[in-house]
Amino acid sequence: MAKVRDGDPEKLGLLYERYKRPLLGFFVGMVRDKELSEDLVQNTFVRILKYKHLFRGDGDFRTWMFHIARNVKNDHFRKNKIAHEKVDKWEDKIKDEGNLMQEWQSDDEQRMLAIALDKLPEDKREILLLSKYQEKKYKEIGEILGCTEGTVKVKVFRALQDLKAIYQQVEKMM
């Protein structure tokens, strides 16, 4: 990234090839629409180029990128005024509603996990996706979310507890 910042934008191609899938995974998990997610991946890289001078180089590129990706996602929700769906009655929807994430999973367990993840509230889904794509670097996730490492760990703990509860219910219904 330092090379991109210092006048060699072509190097962004390497970063794109390395991070396009994790970014796409993050967006699909958050917005549940593959086409829209691809647009958001593109917007993230446009913003990386636009704000390349702000990359200090003393931190991890991945953290900086997910910070931008999160802003791109939030701006999208804000601009389109998408009402964040409440998931009180998610049990009714499991069987008749298609789930995007499960399409890519190879076994039943992973597919049920995809359904459970999809039914989590947005903030909990986000913390688990960030934990996955930031490779459990809770301090860096704290930088993205603007909170301490300890708070991130507690958020992950609560999200995993809810995920487990939903998964067990999904398992019973299948």
Partner 1 sequence: MNKNQIEELIAKYNEGLADPSEILHLELLIESGEVDLTRLRELAKFDESLDKFKEPIASKNLDQKFYDMLLKETSKSKRFDYSSWFTLDSWIPKLSVSLVLIVMGFIGGTLLQKNSGGDEVKILANEVSGLKEMMMISMLEKESATDRLKAVSLSEEIQGPSKKVTEALFKTLNSDPSVNVRLAALDALHNYAKSPAVREGLVRSIAQQDSPLVQVALAELMVSMQEKSSVKELKKILEQKSTPKEVKQRIEESIKVLI
Q: Which one, 9 or 59, has the nearer CB to partner 1?
A: 9
Q: Which one, 17 or 92, has the nearer CB to partner 1?
A: 17
CB of 100 to partner 1, least distance (A): 8
Query: With b meaning 16 or more CB within 10 Å and e meaning fewer, what string describes 62-79?
Result: bbbbbbbbbebbeebeee
Q: Which one, 70 or 132, has the nearer CB to partner 1?
A: 132
105 touches 114 (CB < 8 A)? yes
Task: Mark residues 58-97: x for contact with partner 1 by CB under 8 A, - for none.
Answer: ----------------------------------------
> Counting contacts by CB under 8 A, is residue 7 touching partner 1?
yes
The two three-digit tokens of residue 7, written as one number = 């006048």
Q: Return the range that interacts with partner 1 (CB under 8 A); candidates 56-64, 73-81, 82-90, 99-107.
A: 99-107
The two three-digit tokens of residue 92, written as one number = 């009714």
Who contacts 33 (Cβ-Cβ below 8 Å, separation ≥6)?
Answer: 100
Rounded Cα gap, residues 63 and 45, in angstroms: 14
Phi, psi of 106 (to 5 degrees): -90, -25
Query: Which residues contact partner 1 (rule: CB under 8 A)?
Result: 7-10, 12-13, 16, 20-22, 24-25, 28, 34, 37-38, 41-42, 45-46, 49, 101, 103-106, 109-110, 113-114, 117, 128, 131-132, 149-151, 153-154, 156-158, 160-161, 163-164, 167
